[in-house]
Amino acid sequence: MKPSALIIEAEFYPPDLLHQLETKVSIIKSSAVTQDQLRSQLILNNTEILFCGLGINIDESLLGQVTNIKYVVSPATGINHLDIDYLNLRNITLIYLGDFSKKISNVFSTAELTWSLLLAVIRKIIPAHASVLSGSFDRGPFLGFDLAGRTLGIIGCGRLGLRVAEYGLAFGMRVVVCDIDKAKTANLKDGISAASLDQLLAVSDVISIHVPLNEQTHRLIADSEISK
C-alpha cells in the first residue's frame, strides 16, 4: 500500500510532477485554510507526507494529534511558518527549497515580482487603473517619478537581493546594498556599493528587503528607520 500524501494548493504544482508523484504515493488534494480543517484531513487520511503551503503554521497545535506524519515538504525557502524545533522533536523530516539552493540559483520569479510591485507603487499603476475604470482619464495625480538617477537600497544580498540590484542598474539607478554576511558584499558588480544599514537608509530613495523573517529581522524597518 502506497503512503498517503496530502497536498495543499495542489493546483500550483505542475501536472507532470503530480503524475510522477502518484506512482509513489496516494495523493489527497486539500483546500484547507485553517489548522482545524487541515488537522482533521491529516488524521482522517492517516497522512504520512504533508506538502504544506505558507498560510497555515506547521507546529504542535496542528500535528500534536497527527500520529502517522513522517515528512513535511514546503515549496518555499522561508521557514517562518514551520516550527523546526517541534519537527525535530517528533523526528519528522523537513524538506524545503532552502535545501536545494544550487538547483534554484537561476529561479528569479520572486525578484521579478518584486520589481513589478516596485514599478506599480512608483508609477501609481493600481490607483491609476482604478481611476480609468471609474471613467476618469486624468493622468495628473498618477505621474509618479523616474527611477533613473535615484538610489535603490537592497537589504539582504542573497540570490534575490542581488538580482533586484541588477534590475536597478538596468533602470539607471545607483544601487547600495547591505548584509550581515560581509562576504556577500565583498565582490559586487560595478555600480553596486556596500554600506551599513544606517548609511543605506540615509541615501536610498527606494528600499527592497530580501531577508528571512526571524527574531533578528522582525521589525527591521519601523518609523525610526524610515525617518533616516
- Distance (Å, whole) CA 75 – CA 77: 7
- Distance (Å, whole) CA 149 – CA 173: 5
Question: May I ask the CATH class of domain 4-100?
Answer: alpha beta
The pTM of this model reads: 0.80
**109-226 has the same fold as 4-100:** yes
pLDDT in tens, 26-85: 999 999 999 999 999 999 999 999 999 999 999 999 999 999 999 999 998 888 899 999
- Distance (Å, whole) CA 5 – CA 8: 10
Residue with cell 531577508: 211
Domain boundaries, the chain: 4-100, 109-226
pLDDT in tens, 198-210: 999 999 999 999 9
Beta strands in 48-187 (DSSP E): 49-51, 71-74, 93-96, 151-155, 174-178
- Within a 10 A sphere around the Cβ of 147, how many other Cβ atoms? 20
Strands of the sheet with 192-194, listed across from one edge? 192-194, 174-178, 151-155, 206-209
pLDDT band per the 50, 70, 90 thresholds, residue 104: confident
CATH annotation of 109-226: 3.40.50.720
